[in-house]
Amino acid sequence: MTSHREPEVVTSIVELKAAMHELRARGGRIGLVPTMGALHDGHMSLVRACRLECEVTVATIFVNPTQFGPHEDLARYPRTWDDDLVDPPAIARRLEGEFRPGHFRGVATVVLKLFHLIPAHVAYFGQKDYQQCLVVRHMVADLNVPMEIRMCPIVREADGLAMSSRNRYLTETERQQAVALSQSLFAGRDMIERGECDAGHVRDHMRTRLTQAGIDRVDYVAVAEQETLEEVERITSPAVLLIAAHVGQTRLIDNCLVG
């Protein structure tokens, strides 16, 4: 928690509530940057965006068990989570929702809890989790949560790999392979910018780029409408290209807006 002074760290909900009470009383705009830790420059770009617009930045670090899936051993976590879970909006059903059942339920639950605990004016999310941003936007609209949601651009390594806490799991060889995700997205974007309207051709080309790099476990390669995430057949309006693929044991996601 920082107001352009030394950061203050709080570790309990009681402390957090007291700190938020004091910050709200002081006035000024408060921004929230929710994270799961393992911070990298992608997270810091959200903090920088927040500091440009807000007097106070509240960053949270919480490794949220409910968005990881059953193999993450949910039994160890407090039972109240099950009662508290929030049904995510319909946009959560496709893509990540299909491959990670329960994931957005976990995200929506914890984000809504954070929004209640930290009544900021604006919250910052990274475009790398594009669908997550849309889910959160729909959730605040559906539930009338008085919070602005900002989506900040993806921060990439020099070779194009999107920054992610999970990149640290990659071996050296996998790290080299992983760059194929962004290369595939950029190749798809270039095709569309050169006038290709057939989404099937774009998807096929993107998949081929992944296969050529030795990435054969691909959850999805999608060419979708930017607001609804519905797959398109003809590209006639702004689109988003999205990939989820496994590089070794690590599942990576990336995306790119077009038009």
Residues found near ligand PAF in the complex (CB under 6 A): 34-36, 64, 67, 107, 110-111, 129, 132
In whole angstroms, what is the distance from residue 72 CA to residue 74 CA?
6
Q: How many CA atoms lie within 13 A of 116 on its CB side?
A: 8
Instruction: Name the residue number minimizing CB distance to ligand PAF.
Output: 64
In whole angstroms, what is the distance from residue 126 CA to residue 243 CA?
16
Q: Shortest Cβ distance from residue 88 to ligand PAF (Å)?
A: 12
Which of residues 126 and 188 has its CB atom nearest to ligand PAF in the complex?
Answer: 126
Token pair belonging to 259: 């038009």
In whole angstroms, what is the distance from residue 44 CA to residue 64 CA?
20
Q: Shortest Cβ distance from residue 113 to ligand PAF (Å)?
A: 10
Q: Which residues pair with 223 in a beta bridge?
A: 241
Which of residues 35 and 127 has its CB atom nearest to ligand PAF in the complex?
Answer: 35
Task: Tell me how crowded residue 236 is: count the other CB atoms within 10 A of its CB.
Answer: 11
Task: Name the strand (E) or helix (H) holding 14.
Answer: helix 13-26
Q: Shortest Cβ distance from residue 217 to ligand PAF (Å)?
A: 22
Q: Which of 4, 40, 43, 205 is catalytic?
A: 43
Fill in the amino acid letter for 120: A
Which of residues 60 and 183 has its CB atom nearest to ligand PAF in the complex?
Answer: 60
Q: Shortest Cβ distance from residue 190 to ligand PAF (Å)?
A: 28
In whole angstroms, what is the distance from residue 105 CA to residue 103 CA?
5
Does the annotation count 103 as an active-site position? no
Which of residues 67 and 127 has its CB atom nearest to ligand PAF in the complex?
Answer: 67
- Candidates 23, 21, 19; CA nearest to 11 is 19
Catalytic residues: 43
